[in-house]
């Protein structure tokens, strides 16, 4: 573990040092190049402003943990999370209030009234299916379908202690099946049955493994599946399950005590401009600003009637349940560790 941390640390220090050598820099935690097209977005920002935003491979939970550790000596300027984790981090006092330009255009409910966090784009949990890797099994259409023995060893979803997307999945599924922030049983019972078909609970991005067919079914953000299909040309189908699914706001925040605070604010303003929002949309995450979804991207999404089955989740309740639900998941689903 120390090795991993020191490698990550030295890589980020190296990246930051390189960036510094070349000029201005904004450090963002959770800036995974092939997630939500951060690679494209930061490259575009470099082009328009000359400012470098180096890549960073932390998932939401890890990003929050890092900010907590560095509370007295902040290293990051901005941070990106799935909604509930951002909400939780804001509640822990890790963010500086800031209302970027374009703030008023973000729908209420997708931002903190005080500017502690705000949504940049949204996504929905979906099945991302590599149809060529199913070995003849039909494309699953519902959460019930996933339990069928024909999908044994073919399903993966990220460890919810690693990433916010998967925490959204676990929390959402529990509410969908009748549980709430106090009662996790319905969701965990389902996931225990699903476990028979799950090949792994990854703690790193398996985007490429899905594209290659190593993992035929990935329960993850819909945008990742559309991107596999339309950008990488993979034999991929995105399925919104019949019983319903959940939307996930993905949020930004300004880190409290950000070392490059002024540069960071300019960058956060820019993320809400049309060019930046359209660049996010190229990875099929829905821009938060109304009308920012380019038509040639919009036509690749599943029809609106499918998305009517996607419900939004209450971030406050979701954040309150986070630690207990992640612990319960680790104990009951990942199991005894033997």
Partner 1 sequence: MTRDRDTASAWTGALLALPFLLFLCGVVAWPLAHLAGRAVTQGEALREVLAAGRYRTALVNSLALSSAAAAASVLLSVGPAWILARERFRGRDLLRTAISLPLTFSGVLVGFLMVVLLGRIGAIPKVIGALTGREMFSGAAYTVGGLFLAYLYFEVPRAVMTLEAAFRRFPRELDSAARTLGAGALQRLVRIGLPIAAPALRSTLAVTFSASMGSFGVALILSRRFTVAPLEIYTEMTGFLNDDVAGALCLALALITLAVDRLLSLGSRR
Kindly list the residues in this chain that would bind partner 1 in the complex (CB under 8 A): 1-4, 7, 61-62, 64-65, 68, 133, 153-154, 159, 161-162, 198-201, 203-204, 209, 212-216, 323, 326-327, 330-331, 334-338
- The phi and psi torsions of 137 (rounded to 5 degrees) equal -70, 150
- Smallest distance from partner 1 to CB 285, Å: 24
Closest C-alpha among 212, 205, 167 to residue 328: 167
- Smallest distance from partner 1 to CB 209, Å: 7
With beta carbons less than 8 A apart as the criterion, state whether 220 and 165 touch.
yes
Provide the H-helix boundaries in the chain: 2-22, 38-49, 60-69, 83-91, 164-176, 185-195, 207-212, 222-230, 261-271, 274-281, 295-298, 304-307, 315-329
DSSP 8-state assignment for residue 334: I
Distance between CA atoms of residues 13 and 212, nearest Å: 32
- Smallest distance from partner 1 to CB 66, Å: 8
Within a 10 A sphere around the Cβ of 317, how many other Cβ atoms?
A: 15
Is the CB of 162 or the CB of 226 nearer to partner 1? 162
- Smallest distance from partner 1 to CB 135, Å: 10
Is the CB of 163 or the CB of 172 nearer to partner 1? 163
Is the CB of 8 or the CB of 312 nearer to partner 1? 8
| CB-based contacts of 164, cutoff 8 Å, min separation 6 | 59, 60, 61, 81, 82, 83, 84, 85, 86, 248
Distance between CA atoms of residues 126 and 283, nearest Å: 15
Is the CB of 118 or the CB of 184 nearer to partner 1? 184
Is the CB of 161 or the CB of 283 nearer to partner 1? 161
Is the CB of 63 or the CB of 297 nearer to partner 1? 63
- Smallest distance from partner 1 to CB 330, Å: 7
- Smallest distance from partner 1 to CB 320, Å: 15
Token pair of 169 as six digits? 């999945």
- Which helix (H) or strand (E) element contains residue 199? strand 198-200
């Amino acid at each position: 573990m120390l090795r991993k941390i020191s490698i990550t640390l030295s890589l980020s220090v190296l990246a930051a040092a390189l960036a510094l050598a070349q000029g201005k820099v904004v450090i963002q935690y959770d800036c995974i190049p092939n997630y939500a097209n951060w690679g494209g977005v930061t490259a575009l920002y470099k082009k328009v402003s000359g400012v470098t935003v180096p890549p960073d491979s932390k998932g939401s939970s890890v990003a929050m943990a890092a900010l907590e550790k560095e509370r007295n000596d902040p290293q990051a300027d901005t941070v990106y999370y799935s909604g509930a984790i951002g909400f939780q981090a804001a509640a822990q006092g890790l963010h500086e209030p800031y209302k970027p330009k374009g703030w008023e255009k973000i729908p209420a409910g997708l931002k903190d009234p005080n500017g502690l966090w705000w949504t940049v784009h949204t996504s929905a949990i979906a099945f991302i299916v590599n149809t060529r890797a199913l070995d003849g099994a039909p494309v699953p259409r519902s959460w019930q379908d996933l339990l069928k023995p024909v999908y044994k060893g073919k399903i993966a979803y990220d460890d919810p202690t690693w990433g916010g997307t998967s925490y959204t999945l676990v929390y959402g599924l529990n509410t969908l099946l009748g549980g709430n922030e106090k009662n996790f049983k319905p969701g965990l019972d389902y996931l225990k049955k699903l476990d028979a078909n799950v090949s792994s609970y990854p703690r790193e991005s398996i985007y490429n493994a899905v594209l290659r067919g190593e993992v035929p079914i990935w329960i993850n953000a819909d945008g990742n599946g559309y991107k596999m299909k339309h950008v990488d040309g993979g034999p991929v189908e995105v399925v919104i399950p019949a019983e319903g699914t959940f939307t996930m706001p993905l949020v930004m925040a300004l880190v409290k005590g950000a070392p490059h605070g002024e540069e960071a604010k300019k960058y956060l303003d820019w993320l809400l401009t049309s060019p930046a929002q359209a660049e996010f949309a190229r990875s099929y995450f829905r821009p938060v600003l109304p009308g920012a979804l380019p038509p040639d991207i919009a036509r690749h999404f599943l029809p609106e009637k499918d998305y009517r089955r996607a419900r939004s989740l209450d971030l406050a309740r979701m954040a309150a349940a986070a630690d207990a639900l992640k612990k319960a998941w680790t104990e009951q689903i990942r199991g005894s560790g033997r």
